[in-house]
Amino acid sequence: MSSLTWWLEVGLRIVVVFLGFMVIPLVVGQMEHKAMAHMQGRLGPMEAGGFHGWAQLVADGVKFAQKEAVVPAAADRRVFQAAPAVALIPYLLALIVIPIGPGTQVGVDLDLGLFFALAVMGIAVLGPLMAGWSSANKYSLLGALRSAAQLMAYELPMLLSAVSVAMAAGTLSLPGILGAWHWYWIPWQLVGGFVFFTAGLAELQRPPFDMPVADSEIIFGAYTEYTGLRFALFLLAEYAGIVVLCLLTTVLFLGGWHGPVADQQLGWLWTAIKTFALAFVVIWLRVSYPRLRADQLQKFAWTVLIPLALFQLALTGVVKVL
Amino acid sequence: MSHTTYYSAYSIVGILFLLGILFVVFALTANRLLSPFRPTREKLLTYESGVDPVGEGWAHTHVRYYVYAYLYVIFAVDSVYLFPWATIFAAPGFRGTTLAEMFVFIGFLAVGILYAYKKGVLTWLEQ
């Protein structure tokens, strides 16, 4: 392969990843509008774009772009302005290592893919911390400290349950993990999958783990002082985070592109179906569960999720070696 | 991309990173061009439920979870070492011994958590 075709291929992969990053979070957002509305006996957006309000989030984006960017006088200006980028860009980077189909249907096959994805997702949590501290606002500070506490509690079970899959596959490359995958991994890694998905929800500060942005207590947590497009970037980061979490859970615990029929041809479709099913669960939980209190949240992580993750590690090790 | 080398793989990640930064810069520039800019003293005040802010935002707060933070640092550093180990533990010549080592590792973690639990670290308020 000449270097020109190599560059064309790389360019195409990057463009596809970037388009996915721009479009899929909006689809999940629209799905959230609609699913929540119907679960609560409402219609949700119906006007924008004509057909069932499909363009609502596009209209929201246009609105956000026209709003004044206010930086409070007391804020630490540069950190305040940079925080949305720190929250958003890691999820873009995580997408490139996640395979959506068999063979070469992955942005780039890193040897350390799983580790890379978890590492950049850890960086994304710095966004709300920077935002909360630099805002010089009491609500923001409380929200940021709650984010920090939540990250510390849930990063560990997430790492441990991800390691369990790496042990089963004997590799850290995400396409490699799917190459080694068999259907019986679903029951075998079930506990790990539960731990990973729950911990991921907590890292994204999604309900029922949305204490850092609890609107009835601390306005909007670390994002209280944000307006206009920077606020929109934080929202985009949240939905991009949902996409990355659901894709990772699909790849690690639900077999990714493997499916009952035609998975060599339609692998990407199986990935999409599983990912959107998980995204629906994320939305469903938001509608149906009350918010956990700070102490309940810590207790749940340290006394339920971490022991379960350790159990999954032991189970994986024993089954693999025997 | 069968012949992607170590450096070329990470340079693709680097290009995507630059593209991400470009996107944010482009979006914020567009925001600046499209939006009004009329700062007033009141608008730039810190938000505190509609009343004038009292004191500074960078206030002293009681960080109740600092012991959790210690636990986290200890365990997270440990668990990073699991990743290289996970890729080879079932390879020929490793199996039994490395599995036993895993149980030693899990044992350490479990004893640590049990100790913290007994000490009452895992409850939010001192009783």
Closest CA to B56 of A69, A77, A141, A213: A141
Nearest to A253 by CA among A170, A157, A188: A188
Among B31, B63, B113, beta carbon nearest to A69: B31
pLDDT in tens, B74-126: 777 777 888 888 887 777 777 777 778 878 888 888 888 788 778 777 666 65
pLDDT at residue number A24: 92
Nearest CA to A243 among A274, A279, A268, A277?
A279
A chain contacts of residue B63, beta-carbon cutoff 8 Å: 145
Q: Which residue has the tokens 């899959």?
A: A165
Domains of chain B with bracketed CATH: 6-118 (1.20.58.1610)
Q: What is the pLDDT of residue A12?
A: 87
First CA to last CA across chain B, in angstroms?
A: 60
Taking the CA of residue A39 and the nearest CA in chain B, the distance in Å comes to 32
Report whether pLDDT(B32) > 90: no
Query: Amino acid identity, residue B46?
Result: T
Distance from the B22 Cα atom to the nearest Cα atom in chain A, whole angstroms = 10
Q: What is the pLDDT of residues A205-245, one digit of tens each?
A: 888 888 888 778 888 888 888 888 889 999 899 899 999 99
Q: What is the pLDDT of residue B10?
A: 84
Q: What is the distance between the alpha carbons of residues A170 and B88, in angstroms, rounded to a whole number? A: 6
CB pairs under 8 A between A and B: 214
What's the burial of A145, exposed, middle or buried (CB within 10 Å: 0-12/13-18/19+)?
Answer: buried
A115 contacts in chain B (CB < 8 Å): 83
User: How confident is the prediction for chain A on average, in pLDDT?
Assistant: 86
Task: Select from A18, A229, A303 the Cβ nearest to the Cβ of B19.
Answer: A18
State whether A139 and B47 contact (CB < 8 Å): yes
Q: What is the pLDDT of residue A194?
A: 93
* The predicted structure's pLDDT at residue B117: 79
**In degrees to the nearest 10, what's the CA dihedral of A31, A32, A38, A40?**
180
Q: For chain B, give the mean pLDDT.
A: 78
Which helix H or strand E contains A30, and what residues bound it? helix A3-39
Q: Which residue of B has its CA nearest to A117?
A: B13
* Best of A22, A141, A152 to mutate (most B CBs within 10 Å, chain B): A152
Q: Is B16 in contact with A93 (Cβ distance < 8 A)? A: yes
Closest residue to A317, CB basis, from B68, B102, B113: B102
Which of B2, B56, B79 would you mutate first to test chain A, the one with the most A CBs within 10 A? B79
Nearest chain B residue to A115 by CA distance is B83
CB A142 within 8 A of CB B61: yes
- Quote the minimal CA–CA distance from B65 to chain A in Å: 7
Q: Amino acid letter at B41?
A: R
Q: What is the pLDDT of residue A109?
A: 80
The token pair at A284 is: 């469903």
The domain limits of chain A are 65-321
* Chain-chain contact of A159 with B34 (C-beta, under 8 angstroms): no
Residue among A89, A136, A321 whose CB faces B21 most closely:
A89
Interface probe for B, chosen from A9, A18, A78, A321 (most Cβ of B below 10 Å), is A321
Residues above pLDDT 70, as percent of chain A:
99
Q: Low-confidence residues of chain A, pLDDT below 50?
A: none
Q: Which of A9, A70, A307 is opposite residue B1, by nearest beta carbon?
A: A9
List the single residue in A110, A140, A302 with the smallest CB-CB distance to B113. A302
Nearest-neighbour CA in chain B from A5: distance (Å): 11
> Does residue A320 contact residue A165 with C-beta atoms inside 8 Å?
no
